């Protein structure tokens, strides 16, 4: 059975069981000696506040969630990689000496891209990448791997980043990087390695897969800590762990997956990024200020003075990003005070901005947030992720959980949509190799 007992009441997703995954590995690759196979796990994330700010060098506040991508792998003596996806029921192979995208097994392009980024391979040659603790050029070795996960795809919970990070730590462990270093989350060297992994995974998604994502998803998967949010400065990758205190406050995080899916490569995501980049260039040019590199460098007061020079749509996009950065900082201060109600108010405001200014919500997301708004005991709710479908996240007092979960619809609003799901998420530690 591909199941384990959920820690949180109301959680409906089933996580990948290690024993089950090892059985799948045996079926695909035969028996193995004890100690030769490892399991890498990387969690998905939900962003509590700070949406569409990461690619503008802004602030975000995600948490790693107790649903992940798991990879059982064993190192090879050659440079060949053989992957089997339990979820797609598909096997694919490639050589680390010629890493090219697959048209038949597109899911594998995330793994391929990570290998390409880690080694610094480009189609025209090899670029050296170094990191602390590894002298000279990193050279990967081949591996056999089976992959499965319980992070819903296309739902805004960062299934792609979870897959990328799990792929990265699998490849590094197979190449001989010390597992203790990979799993280190508090030491300087461990944090440096995790930042490097996050950047390599982002590079893979940007340049190999073709999605211009920011750095938040990968950093959340790498840097998550139980019962803490990751307060991340996307410009310099400095982060702070901010305690949520959900247990103390008798509160929980509830995800509502609308079942609406979108493909990031073909969606409006890249277009939104282009709009805010255009707005930044126009403002910087009008003010003749070279120090304005992203919308992070503009406060709301200055924006109100200058926004008239922008096309109306671009102005709305920029206003959201600038105000959202301020909401993140306000949310962190609220958490430090233990004021979950104030934090929830900022979540409502964030959703309204994403709906009205950034234009990335949809009727299903708006409906779910409206239901949460009308349910006593819900402190805040908003869409989360890139938008155009996917999920909402709600901050809920425990006594209100049954009422909210009963009120949220369990049937698709659109033909062909995935069945909606409502579940409580645990806030967990980041990526690791099981020991």
C-alpha 154/C-alpha 110 separation (Å) is 14
C-alpha 112/C-alpha 96 separation (Å) is 9
In terms of Cβ atoms closer than 10 Å to its own Cβ (0-12, 13-18, 19+), residue 64 is buried
Q: What's the confidence (pLDDT) of residue 122? A: 41
Reported confidence tier of residue 264, pLDDT bands at 50, 70, 90: low
How many Cα atoms occupy the beta-carbon half-sphere of 303 within 13 Å? 22
Per-residue pLDDT reduced to its tens digit, 172-201: 999 988 999 999 988 888 888 999 999 999
DSSP annotation string for 35-65: TS-EEEEEEEEEEEE-TT-GGGT-EEEEEEE
| Residue in this structure with the two tokens 């959900």, named with its chain if needed | 246
113-127, 156-170, 361-375: lowest mean pLDDT where? 113-127
Per-residue pLDDT reduced to its tens digit, 85-105: 999 999 999 999 999 999 999
Per-residue pLDDT reduced to its tens digit, 306-336: 999 999 999 999 999 999 999 999 999 999 9
Helices within 39-187 (DSSP H only): 109-119, 159-174, 179-183
Average pLDDT of the residues in 271-287 = 93
Reported confidence tier of residue 156, pLDDT bands at 50, 70, 90: confident
Please give the model's pTM, rounded to 2 decimal places. 0.89
E strands of 118-165, at which residues?
Answer: 121-122, 125-126, 143-149
Q: What's the confidence (pLDDT) of residue 324? A: 97
Say yes or no to pLDDT of 204 above 70: yes
C-alpha 269/C-alpha 290 separation (Å) is 27
Active site (catalytic) residues: 217
Say yes or no to pLDDT of 427 above 80: yes
Say yes or no to pLDDT of 349 above 50: yes
Q: What's the confidence (pLDDT) of residue 317? A: 97
Say yes or no to pLDDT of 14 above 90: no
CB-CB contact of 397 with 375 (8 Å): no
Q: What's the confidence (pLDDT) of residue 270? A: 79
Q: What's the confidence (pLDDT) of residue 140? A: 92
Helices within 258-359 (DSSP H only): 269-287, 300-306, 312-337, 340-356
Those residues whose C-beta lies under 8 Å from the C-beta of residue 336, and which sit 6 or more positions away, are 242
Average pLDDT taken over every residue of the chain: 89
Q: What phi and psi values does residue 57 have, to the nearest 5 degrees?
A: 70, 25
How many Cα atoms occupy the beta-carbon half-sphere of 165 within 13 Å? 36
Q: What's the confidence (pLDDT) of residue 186? A: 81
- In the chain the domains, ranked by start, together with CATH numbers, are 18-244+428-433 (3.30.230.10)
C-alpha 207/C-alpha 190 separation (Å) is 26
Say yes or no to pLDDT of 132 above 80: no
Percentage of the chain exceeding pLDDT 70: 90
């Amino acid at each position: 059975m591909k199941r384990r007992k959920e820690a949180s009441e109301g959680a409906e997703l089933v996580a990948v069981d290690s024993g089950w995954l090892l059985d799948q590995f045996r079926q695909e690759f035969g028996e193995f000696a004890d100690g030769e196979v490892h399991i890498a796990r990387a969690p998905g994330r939900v962003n509590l506040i700070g949406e569409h700010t990461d690619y503008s060098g802004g602030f975000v506040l995600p948490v790693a969630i107790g649903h992940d991508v798991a990879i059982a792998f064993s190192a090879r003596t050659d440079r060949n990689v053989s992957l089997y996806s339990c979820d797609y029921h598909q096997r694919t192979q490639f050589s680390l000496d010629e890493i090219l995208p697959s048209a038949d097994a597109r899911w594998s392009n995330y793994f391929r891209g990570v290998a390409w980024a880690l080694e610094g391979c480009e189609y025209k040659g090899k670029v050296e990448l170094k990191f602390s603790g590894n002298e000279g050029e990193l050279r990967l070795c081949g591996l056999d791997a089976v992959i499965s996960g319980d992070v819903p795809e296309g739902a805004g919970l960062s299934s792609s980043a979870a897959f990328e990070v799990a792929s990265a730590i699998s490849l590094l462990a197979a190449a001989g990087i010390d597992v203790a270093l990979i799993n280190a989350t508090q030491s300087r060297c461990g944090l440096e390695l995790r930042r490097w992994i996050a950047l390599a995974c982002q590079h893979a998604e940007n340049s190999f897969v073709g999605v211009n994502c920011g750095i938040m998803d990968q950093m959340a998967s790498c840097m998550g800590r139980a019962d803490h949010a990751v307060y991340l400065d996307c410009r310099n990758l400095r982060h702070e762990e901010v305690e949520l205190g959900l247990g103390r406050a008798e509160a929980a995080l509830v995800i509502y997956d609308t079942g609406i899916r979108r493909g990031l490569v073909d969606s409006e995501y890249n277009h939104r990024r282009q709009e805010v980049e255009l707005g930044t260039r126009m403002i910087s040019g009008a003010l003749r200020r070279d120090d304005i590199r992203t919308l992070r460098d503009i406060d709301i007061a200055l924006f109100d003075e200058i926004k008239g020079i922008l096309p109306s749509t671009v102005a709305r996009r920029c206003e959201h990003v600038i105000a959202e950065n301020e909401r993140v900082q306000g949310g962190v201060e609220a958490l430090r005070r233990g004021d979950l109600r104030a934090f929830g108010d900022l979540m409502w405001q964030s959703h309204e901005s994403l709906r009205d200014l950034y234009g990335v919500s949809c009727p299903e997301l708006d409906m779910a947030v409206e239901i949460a708004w009308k349910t006593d005991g819900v402190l805040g709710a908003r869409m989360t992720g890139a938008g155009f479908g996917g999920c909402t996240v709600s901050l809920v007092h425990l006594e209100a959980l049954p009422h909210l979960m009963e009120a949220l619809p369990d049937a698709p609003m659109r033909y062909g949509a995935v069945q909606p799901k409502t579940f409580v998420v645990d806030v967990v530690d980041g990526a690791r190799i099981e020991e």
